[in-house]
Chains A and B, each alone.
Chain A
Amino acid sequence: EPEVTQTPSHQVTQMGQEVILRCVPISNHLYFYWYRQILGQKVEFLVSFYNNEISEKSEIFDDQFSVERPDGSNFTLKIRSTKLEDSAMYFCASIRDRSNTGELFFGEGSRLTVL
């Protein structure tokens, strides 16, 4: 069964460093998402991406964040200068199209620890 894959599963970084989290969505899916889950808190929407551009972004997704799909396969989330509060689990998700009944498929997540 096709699945969303994410790398790395866990990354530890120093505050101020750049981090890139990678995701390979399901191949025939068209919409892609990043969500964040700070430990013990709810899953929060960060950004959605369609047709090689951002469709929607939340207040969390400030200028320190960026997304791109450089090669038609990987979907990356970059944090330019990490802060302590960026420590969280980051989930990538994808969905086939807007007519779909709404099931997002999630990856296993990338745990980011900022020291």
Chain B
Amino acid sequence: AQTVTQSQPEMSVQEAETVTLSCTYDTSESDYYLFWYKQPPSRQMILVIRQEAYKQQNATENRFSVNFQKAAKSFSLKISDSQLGDAAMYFCAYRSPGGGADGLTFGKGTHLIIQP
């Protein structure tokens, strides 16, 4: 079974600064998908960014980018120019390629605080 580990229960960053959230995972599969989801206080989980394991290039979405290290099974999220609206719980998640059945495996989450 796959596991996802987020070792930082909470992170704090000054507005406009850059912060990196860590995520490691364990799997025996060679092909899979990785995701970062954001869960603001309004509760709905929103997809921030995703990475296909077969792609070597790190995914980027505006101020959000990942550092995907497949050999190390590491998938960190970098948020540049942090904004107050980035404050939320961030969950790293893993999905098998044919995983229509078993959905996502989540980490425990990192609570991101943005200091004004």
Any chain A CB within 8 A of the CB of B108? yes
Closest to B33 in A: A102
List residues of chain B with CB within 8 A of the CB of A101.
33, 50, 52
Contact between B106 and A93 (Cβ–Cβ < 8 Å)?
no
Across the interface, A108 reaches (CB within 8 A) one of B44, B99, B102, namely B44
Known: A42-B107, A102-B35. A56 touches B101 (CB 8 A): yes
List residues of chain A with CB within 8 A of the CB of B105.
45
Interface residues of B in 18-77 (CB under 8 A from A): 33, 35, 37, 42-47, 50, 52
Interface residues of A in 71-115 (CB under 8 A from B): 89, 91, 93, 95, 97-98, 101-104, 106-109
Bound-state CA distance A44–B108 (Å) is 9
A55, A93, A103, A107: which has the most chain B beta carbons within 10 Å? A103
Interface residues of chain A, those whose CB is within 8 Å of chain B, are 30-31, 33, 35, 41-45, 48, 50, 55-56, 89, 91, 93, 95, 97-98, 101-104, 106-109
Interface residues of chain B, those whose CB is within 8 Å of chain A, are 33, 35, 37, 42-47, 50, 52, 91, 95, 97-109
